[in-house]
Amino acid sequence: MTLGGAINSGLAAAMAADDRVMVVGEDVGVLGGVFRVTDGRTDTARACRDGTDCTLITYGASVAPAMAAAQAAEEDGYVELPSPVAGVVETLHAAEGDIVDVGTVIVSIRVGGPAAARSGPPATVAEGSGATTVTSAGAAAEGAPAAAPEPAVSEPAEPEPAEPGPKVQTLVGTGPSAPVERTRHLRPRSELPAHPSRNAGAARDQVPLVADTRVPIRGVRRTTAQAMTQSAFTAPHVTEWLAVDVTATTELVASLRADPRWAGIRINPMLFVAKALVTALERFPDANSRWDERAGEIVRFGSVNLGIAVASARGLVVPNIKGADSMGLRDLADAVDRLVATARDGVLRPADMSGGTATVTNIGALGVDAGTPILNPGEAVILAFGAIRPTPWVVDGRVEVRRVAQLALSFDHRLVDGELGSAVLTEVARVLRDPVGALIDR
């Protein structure tokens, strides 16, 4: 016989000879304890609070008041459930592994056993705020009123004298969190100071609340929501990021604004971002395409119809410039200015909103560095241009303060793989780093 087997046999003999012998433990009912020395020696029950569980004392065990009769496993640790009375476990009302509701009777204790010191009916488990609450099941079942909270005595040397009637003990731990120490540091809840958050909550309850408002979903808002949902759950999105030194672009913008030949033309960095995306799509036309699921075909567009995301009073709209790839910088500037003004005035035509092939959005105008833009349905790429900020940058081995912006390119991975997407993004960055050289090369 092994050492574990000898201990198991000894437990069996002791439990058979004296009903005061019991086996209590967190794992004895499931694993048989360490080295399975308690295997077969338990007939435990388990109760759960909100999906958690606890291991109870065994059938036939003797219990005394405030003895830890069970250990409940909760979200933040284990909580002991003390016995409210002294006696012998007579009935276990839940089997091992059962899930029961708060307030369910889990064990019946017969008063008058070897360890009995006072009488009481079966026990239930109830939920308290930050404490373990053990109530008398008999009082709850017969509607008898509960007595006032009764404090636990620190390590009583002798059992307390019997008192008539059922008792309710509501105890709150104030000492160490270890279960073995908790029973030595318990006080009645009535002795604890009022929690400040509860007083604050009562004060907040007196503040009048503003009623909720419901806004009908219609017009541009509904159309945009439908388009974005369709795109997000149809096209597999991939987003790549790149920080680019746009100092040369900002200098060119300042130069053109001061040039009388460009008077009356709206010049800004966004114009050059739009031009850079058009240039990249001309160089890599496979990214200027559409996935036609119904026909089972990929449609490569013959021209670049560049969409410009505009935040209007009616919501987000994305009108597009037809044939942007055929325009010079001045014509493109006029087209962008005219389209943005029309969108903000709310007088866009249906033709302005249809037929786009790629989109650019200036989230930097909102003070945002970058984001993950969602594709306009039927398009393969969308470019987000972030805020331009002074940034330490390495130039020819020296650190200088340069004007840097973040680019984020989202693309439909059915049409654009990582290599093609990276090629488009780096081409946009090349134009913005050296706009004069890029435009001369064309």
| pLDDT tens digits, one per residue of 300-351 | 999 999 999 998 877 788 999 999 999 999 999 999 999 999 988 888 888 8
Quick one: pLDDT at residue 360? 97
Residues 289-296 have a mean pLDDT of 93
pLDDT range class, residue 374, cuts 50, 70, 90: very high
Structure tokens, 166? 């059922």
From the CA atom positions of the chain, what is the Rg in Å? 38
| pLDDT tens digits, one per residue of 246-285 | 999 999 999 999 999 999 999 999 999 999 999 999 999 9
Positions marked catalytic: 413
Residue with the larger pLDDT of the pair 43 and 235: 235
Q: Work out the mean pLDDT of the chain and round it to a whole number.
A: 75
pLDDT range class, residue 399, cuts 50, 70, 90: very high
| pLDDT tens digits, one per residue of 142-155 | 334 444 444 444 44
| pLDDT tens digits, one per residue of 96-132 | 656 667 677 877 878 765 544 444 455 554 444 333 3
* Residue 383 pLDDT > 60: yes
Quick one: pLDDT at residue 88? 80
Burial of 94 (0-12, 13-18, 19+ CB in 10 A): buried
Q: Give the burial string for 149-181 (b: 16+ CB within 10 Å, else e).
A: bbebeeeeeeeeeeeeebbbbbbbbeeeeeeee
pLDDT range class, residue 432, cuts 50, 70, 90: very high
* Residue 228 pLDDT > 70: yes
Q: What is the pTM of this model?
A: 0.53
E strand or H helix that includes residue 54: strand 53-56
Which residues are bridge partners to 310 per DSSP? Answer: 317
| pLDDT tens digits, one per residue of 1-37 | 677 777 777 777 777 777 666 666 545 544 556 566 6
User: Which domains are delineated in the chain?
Assistant: 43-154+164-198 (no CATH), 219-441 (3.30.559.10)
